[in-house]
Structure 1
Amino acid sequence: MKKLLVLAAMMVSSVVFADEFKIQNSMTQSQFQDLSKEMGQMVTPTPNSPAEPLKTLGFDIALETTLVNISDGDSHWKNAWDNGDPDSMALLYRVHVQKGFPFGIDLGLSVTKGTNIDFTAITGEVKYAILKGTTVTPALSVKGSYTKVFGLDDIDLQTLSAGIYVSKGILMFTPYGGLETVYTMASDDSDADLDDENVNAVRGIVGLQFSPLPLISINGEIAVGTVTSYGLKAGLRF
């Protein structure tokens, strides 16, 4: 709860960080592998929405913010920061749009902007509802996505993700959970001259959507994997 309150404050405040992400020549191959796993999960959006599909004419348009815990005491992060003293977290902002289509299919597009790690990530996604859910039964869906990262001078990142999710609406509340795998393709563009890394990592997700008024949705979410992230979303869903 404390983390979500911090996120809420950040959404309405102006927070400025120095951009200090820079891979050092002392970075080893195993450290680069660990860094790739964490950054892959960092840049790949979590669902921040229930498993149930949108209606055919439906949209979900939202602003999101995510706080990601960084393993700042570990060598792979120390060797990825130009002063050897990385921040303990990364703050991300995201604009996320989803559109409903027939047969339980939703298509989505999001743009993520990092703050203390200065990057822009563009993600395209497709979700399919295996079960749409009813008043007595849960919804069950699967989703795949592709993310491309721009703006990082020292590392080239792309990710593929796949996940399965379940949710069940209860009055104004819709709790949901899921399991995702994130496959990261990372190339070193620094002077460290490291080999490419293709790594996979799994994360679990739990969240709650609150709909206090028609069309309005507010989500809180936690994802635990190679990094732990805390997400907050506010938007229009219909």
Structure 2
Amino acid sequence: MADQIPKGVQTHIPNVARMYDYYLGGKDNFPVDRQAAEKALEIIPEIRHGARANRAFLGRTVGFLAEAGIDQFLDIGTGLPTQNNVHQVAPDARVVYVDNDPTVLVHGRAILGKNENVTIIEGDVRRPGEILEHPDVRAAIDFDRPVGVLLLAIMHFIPDADDPQGIVATLRRAMAPGSHLVLSHVAIDARPEAADEMVKAYDQASAPFVTRTGEEIVRLFDGFDVVEPGIVNLPEWRPVPGTVVPYRDVGSYFLGGVGVVSDGG
């Protein structure tokens, strides 16, 4: 990582954003992040594939939303900038990136700050009302028009005590009809025996890892009309024609879907 460590960045605690960067093959991570990530990979080696599948899912879903006419996006828990960010997939859209991680904010502002269509703010998904009322969000996003809200690989760091369904419901109530929610979440159905060890692997990290079943994840879409093919393992969501879809028939391991706010939503 950079020789000069930005203020507020803790290098002695594994950071989930930097661990994710490591899974993707990035360089914005420290030894403590790599050690924690390798521990998780020992438990579930498929994590690296899952992280890449999640990134590809972002690209396909944002492209789908852009084709549907969505020209403004709110990406909450955006993580470290990498390839195929939202503003790159939908270059004509206004995009607000939200994160509460100092590493993400420093890098995001350095990389994205010159793009007039892009805003990056500090915010915590556990307090969605504050995000929705943030002046920079209000300046960039018109909530009277359809918006794309992204919650990618973030809700599996939100414990039940923080009411994940309530968080999504708060966001939904602010979304105009025709708005879309994109959500992905690791599921434990395929590897229930690894659940406890995965929780332990993130014990000392900047956020806890929360295990949920596919059934619990589906409930996060309550109030939305889910578009085809439904809530499925990420590679199965509208794959690029000719793509080989891995891990078929293995149960739910990393689910994602797209929900739409209906006129009655």
> TM-score with structure 1 length normalisation?
0.30
- Which structure has greater strand proportion? 1
Higher-RCO chain (CA-CA 8 Å, sequence separation at least 6): 1
> TM-score with structure 2 length normalisation?
0.28
